[in-house]
Amino acid sequence: MSAAETTGAQVKSAVRTVELLEYFAGRPGMHSLASVQEAVGYPKSSLYMLLRTLVDLGWVETDGTGTRYGIGVRALLVGTSYIDGDEVVAAARPSLDRLADDTAETIHLARLDGTNVVYLATRQSQHYLRPFTRIGRRLPAHSTSLGKALLATYTDEQIRALLPEKLDALTEHTITDREQLIEELHLVRELGYAVDREENTLGLRCFGVAVPYRTPARDAVSCSVPVARLTPGHEQLIKDALFDARDRLTLATRRL
């Protein structure tokens, strides 16, 4: 095999490895070889050898029968390392703590990754009934206040290049038309904050603001509150607290 062929084979193998890990990361639980092969489309023999290698290295785990596969513990170690080493997450901690205290609701810090937002930090609500979002979870940007706040920092042309015309519906309230979303983003730019009106989780309303330490913005912070507990006064308190947190976060991150 020539050097070029070897390099090409190594790149192809690396791409397949990453695609496999992303497949497992997006589908919790254990999966049969047949279901994985159907999803990724790799030759069965090549897929089996790659899975066995990843199992041996701890990136993929298998069940007692050795026939079902899922994400391994080493993936958790890498994800934790990313959070622990991120300067923005570290700088945001005091502001997130204060925002959680001011609102008594669930607070999130998330980052735009393609067409999704990835949750980097969470402060849980002081109330018993509270939404739960895992650090590292990915959600479609168009269905969250975090994502809409971040998308609003892009131009309409950039958004059209990024998102398909038809968007996935997570609930009956999700905006599924790209042009309708763009119209809402015009309002987000005007108001300075975005709202998720039960578009991601029924019974939950979220308010989000982008942190403009770079343009377009990469990170955003949000506050989630059950609709049943949301009053006009509490909504205004949340918005004011978010604007205050945005300003403090912007100042903190510009020092990095």
Cα 249 from Cα 93, distance rounded (Å): 9
- Give residue 128's pLDDT band: very low, low, confident or very high (50, 70, 90): low
User: What integer is the mean pLDDT of 244-249?
Assistant: 95
In this structure, the strands spanning 68-71 and 31-32 are: antiparallel
Residue 119, H or E segment: strand 116-123
Q: Is the pLDDT of residue 20 over 50?
A: yes
Classified as helix, coil or strand, 117 is strand
Confidence of residue 256 (pLDDT cuts 50, 70, 90): low
Instruction: Specify which residues 86 forms β-bridges with.
Output: none
Q: What's the mean pLDDT in 75-104? A: 89
Average pLDDT over residues 59-78: 88
Structure-model confidence comparison of residues 12 and 233, the more confident one: 233
Each residue of 175-216: pLDDT tens digit? 999 999 999 999 999 999 999 999 999 999 999 999 998 889
| pLDDT over 70 at 6, yes or no | no
The pLDDT score that the predictor gives to residue 255 is 67
pLDDT of 92 above 50? yes
Give the SS3 label for residue 59. Answer: coil
Q: Is 50 helix (H, G, I), strand (E, B) or coil?
A: helix
pLDDT at 2: 41
d(CA 212, CA 231): 28
**For residue 211, which of 138, 109, 85, 90 has the smallest C-alpha distance?**
109
- With b for 16 or more beta-carbon neighbours within 10 A and e for fewer, the 201-231 pattern comes to beebbbbbbbbbbeeebbbbbbbbbbeeeee
What's the pLDDT band for 234 if we cut at 50, 70, 90? very high
Contact 127, 99 (CB under 8 A): no
When pLDDT is averaged across residues 119-124 and rounded to a whole number, the result is 92
Mean of pLDDT values over 36-55: 91
- Kindly report the average pLDDT of the chain as a whole number: 89
Kindly list the structural domains of the chain, giving each domain's residue range(s) and its CATH number in brackets, ordered by start.
Answer: 3-76 (1.10.10.10), 86-254 (3.30.450.40)
Looking at the chain, the whole-number percentage of residues with pLDDT higher than 90 is 68
C-alpha dihedral, 159 to 162 to 163 to 165, nearest 10°: 80
Beta bridge partners of 32: 68
Among 118, 63, 187, 103, CA closest to 95? 103
Confidence band, pLDDT 50/70/90 cuts, at residue 14: confident
Q: What is the pLDDT of residue 207?
A: 98
